[in-house]
Amino acid sequence: MQQSSNQRSHKYTLQEDVHLRIGIKPPADIVTPDVSLLRSGRLIIKKGYQWNGPKCRGFWCKNAVRGALIHHVLCQLMREQHLPDTCKSVADKTLMLQCIDDGTPSIVARLLYSLAKRENIVPVKHSTFEACDTDINRSNC
């Protein structure tokens, strides 16, 4: 990940694909030009994806960049109605846990989680999803 030279739109741009497992398992594979979320819970974020990074400032927030990336991607999938907005709490918890795993102090990770919980997802089209389990360890949103 590196800071984008296009400062007007986004701060960070992925320099290579990112593959990881998350606690959201959709009923069918979701494939967009930038992101894939497979039924197994594997999230693939493609090279060139841009995002703004964490909503904090300070030296400790460099460890929150990957958590912010994952959260941004999941919120984007919810806005585009590929995922139901009931997955928001799982996305928020994933942000906090990823930040802690990457070395963000837990108090900062909890602050980021608190800020993320306050954000609303505004869908760009009508959803056909039903409610899903929001437990990060067993969710199949």
On average, the pLDDT of the chain sits at 84
- CB 59: neighbour CB atoms within 10 A? 6
pLDDT at 58 over 50: yes
Most confident of 6-10, 47-51, 58-62, 116-120: 47-51
Give how far Cα 113 sits from Cα of 38, 68, 118, Å: 25, 10, 9
pTM of full prediction above 0.85: no
**What's the pLDDT band for 139 if we cut at 50, 70, 90?**
low
CA 42 to chain centre: 13
**What's the pLDDT band for 70 if we cut at 50, 70, 90?**
very high
Q: What is the mean pLDDT of residues 98-106?
A: 93
Q: What confidence score (pLDDT) does residue 125 get?
A: 59
pLDDT at 133 over 80: no
Token couple for 74: 């999941």
Q: What confidence score (pLDDT) does residue 62 get?
A: 81
Q: What confidence score (pLDDT) does residue 6 get?
A: 45
pLDDT at 107 over 60: yes
Q: What confidence score (pLDDT) does residue 5 get?
A: 46
Helix axis angle, 106-118 relative to 88-101, nearest 10°? 160
Q: What confidence score (pLDDT) does residue 135 get?
A: 53
